[in-house]
């Protein structure tokens, strides 16, 4: 594992290794979508000297929350909660980026105070939302037909991201990542399967990408160069997503991103489509395809093992690799991969919502030996 554990640069920061904590929706906030003690412990456990963590998807408004108990970045209480997480992570010598998010049509009225979700077009996703039912338990619920955004409303959502970026900076994050993947609002605008608009936010690839780049301009104006990133899922289908020509669409996006001095572009490999692992095909868009166009730092994500992570970095198709499921059950994952130590198997039933079980009760090898 030589290359995976070499130093690298991400934006303004030098990292000591290339194993990244992927952004994961764990649904463990305190009331008010505020990071609490559990989240402080969770991130602290996974922080390593010179490593990089990316947070849970974090909504910029109540209307942007897709899942009950997901965090936000739109209130002062949320800023205070995140500040505690950041201070604990920094104390261990790690860096942490906030993934900023708006769910669009993936939101549900049960999580938005009864407000109908918004989207580029009135097309319903066939996925399910995680809500709290009448008994207080987390349950699945079908999504509804969203309300198409009026053109005049779109700058207001851009401003929500700008405000969220300002709050994130005040909280002490090292940078932010725009979540333009997994069937959420940016991707709903970007792909022609979900964007049927006939104004300047629809039709051509340039128009469909306008909302993303308007927002990118806004958050870069807050953070400056080298502190902003973008996540893409060029072959994703989660959220009932589709595009008639993903190579053209994401080729355009990758080329435009060269105009920004980003910290990184985060690419989900086609083997993972939302939460499902599948075979790849020739029509899929991979990190290798993005690398041919985008000249900056790339983080690849999607079902990697230590060996496949080492390979993609050695081949030069990505610079770092984000791990999700195996980082859940192995809080000391970088050290285990570096030494070839056995990995603890994750429990999928504890991924979303709940308490410490399956969240902060996994032990590192050092803790196990000490016990």
Task: Domains for the chain: give ranges and CATH numbers.
Answer: 3-370 (3.20.20.70)
Average pLDDT, the chain: 95
R_g of the chain, CA atoms, integer Å: 19
| CA pair distance 23, 70, nearest whole angstrom | 12
Closest CA relative to residue 253, chosen from 239, 265, 270: 265
Decide if pLDDT at 273 tops 50: no
Mean pLDDT of 282-290: 88
Mean pLDDT of 78-86: 98
- What H or E segment, with its residue span, contains residue 87? helix 76-91
pLDDT band at 198 (very low <50, low <70, confident <90, very high): very high
Percent of the chain with pLDDT over 90: 92
Decide if pLDDT at 275 tops 80: no
Decide if pLDDT at 370 tops 60: no
Q: What pLDDT was estimated at residue 366?
A: 74
Supply the pTM of this predicted model.
0.95
**Contact (CB, 8 A) for 21 and 337:** no
Mean pLDDT of 229-239: 95
**Contact (CB, 8 A) for 65 and 160:** no
| CA pair distance 212, 230, nearest whole angstrom | 9
**Contact (CB, 8 A) for 59 and 71:** yes
**Contact (CB, 8 A) for 106 and 129:** yes
What is the distance, to the nearest Å, from the Cα of residue 144 to the centroid of all Cα atoms in its chain?
23
- Please, how many CA atoms are within 13 Å of residue 240, restricted to the half-sphere of its CB? 15
The predicted-structure confidence for 139-194, as pLDDT tens digits, reads as follows: 999 999 999 999 999 999 999 999 999 999 999 999 999 999 999 999 999 999 99
Q: Which of 4-18, 152-166, 176-190, 267-281 has the lowest mean pLDDT?
A: 267-281
Place of tokens 């077009």: 121
Q: Active site includes 359? A: no
Going by their DSSP bridges, the two strands 138-142 and 128-132 should be labelled as antiparallel
| CA pair distance 54, 174, nearest whole angstrom | 10
| CA pair distance 275, 241, nearest whole angstrom | 14
Burial 182-194 (b: 16+ CB within 10 A, else e): bbbbbbbbbbbeb
Q: What pLDDT was estimated at residue 274?
A: 47
Place of tokens 């790339």: 298
The predicted-structure confidence for 86-142, as pLDDT tens digits, reads as follows: 999 999 999 999 999 999 999 999 999 999 999 999 999 999 999 999 898 999 999
Closest CA relative to residue 352, chosen from 132, 204, 32, 92: 132
Mean pLDDT of 201-214: 98
pLDDT top residue among 221 and 225 = 221
Q: What pLDDT was estimated at residue 200?
A: 98
pLDDT band at 2 (very low <50, low <70, confident <90, very high): confident
Q: What pLDDT was estimated at residue 132?
A: 94
Direct distance between the N- and C-terminal alpha carbons of the chain, in angstroms, rounded to an integer: 28
Q: Which residues contact residue 114 at a Cβ distance below 8 angstroms, ignoring those fewer than 6 apart?
A: none
Q: Which two tokens stand for residue 358?
A: 């399956």
Q: What pLDDT was estimated at residue 282?
A: 58
Catalytic: which of 42, 67, 184, 238?
A: 184
For residue 199, give Cα distances in angstroms to 121, 141, 153, 203, 241. Answer: 11, 32, 13, 7, 21
| CA pair distance 294, 272, nearest whole angstrom | 21
């Amino acid at each position: 594992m030589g290359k995976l554990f070499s130093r690298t640069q991400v934006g303004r920061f030098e990292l000591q290794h290339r194993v990244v904590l992927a952004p994961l929706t764990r649904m463990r906030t305190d009331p008010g979508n505020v990071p609490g003690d559990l989240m402080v412990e969770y991130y602290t456990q996974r922080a390593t000297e010179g490593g990089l963590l990316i947070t849970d998807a974090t909504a910029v408004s109540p209307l942007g929350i897709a899942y009950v108990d997901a965090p936000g970045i739109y209130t002062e209480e949320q800023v205070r909660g995140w500040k505690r997480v950041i201070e604990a992570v920094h104390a261990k010598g790690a860096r942490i980026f906030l993934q900023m998010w708006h769910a669009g049509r993936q939101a549900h009225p049960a999580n938005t105070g009864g407000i109908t979700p918004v989207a580029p077009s009135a097309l319903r996703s066939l996925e399910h939302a995680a809500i709290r039912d009448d008994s207080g338990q987390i349950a699945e619920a079908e999504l509804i037909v969203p309300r198409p955004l009026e053109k005049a409303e779109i700058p207001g959502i851009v401003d929500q991201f700008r405000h969220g970026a300002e709050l994130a900076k005040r909280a002490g994050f090292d940078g932010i990542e725009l979540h333009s993947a997994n069937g959420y609002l940016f991707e709903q605008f970007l792909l022609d399967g979900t964007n049927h608009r006939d104004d300047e936010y629809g039709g051509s690839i340039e128009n469909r990408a306008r909302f993303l780049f308007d927002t990118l301009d806004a958050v870069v104006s807050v953070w400056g160069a080298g502190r902003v990133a973008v996540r893409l899922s060029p072959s994703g289908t989660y959220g009932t997503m589709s595009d008639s020509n993903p190579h053209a669409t994401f080729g355009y996006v990758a080329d435009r991103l060269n105009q920004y001095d980003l910290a990184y572009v985060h690419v989900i490999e086609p083997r993972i489509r939302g939460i499902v692992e599948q075979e790849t095909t020739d029509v899929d868009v991979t990190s290798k395809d993005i690398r041919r166009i985008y000249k900056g730092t790339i983080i690849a994500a999607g079902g990697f093992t230590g060996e496949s992570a080492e390979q993609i970095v050695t081949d030069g198709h990505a610079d770092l690799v984000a791990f999700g499921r195996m980082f859940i059950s192995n809080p000391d994952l970088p050290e285990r991969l570096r030494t070839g130590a056995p990995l603890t198997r994750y429990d999928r039933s504890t991924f979303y919502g709940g308490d410490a079980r399956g969240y902060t009760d996994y032990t590192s090898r050092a803790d196990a030996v000490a016990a």
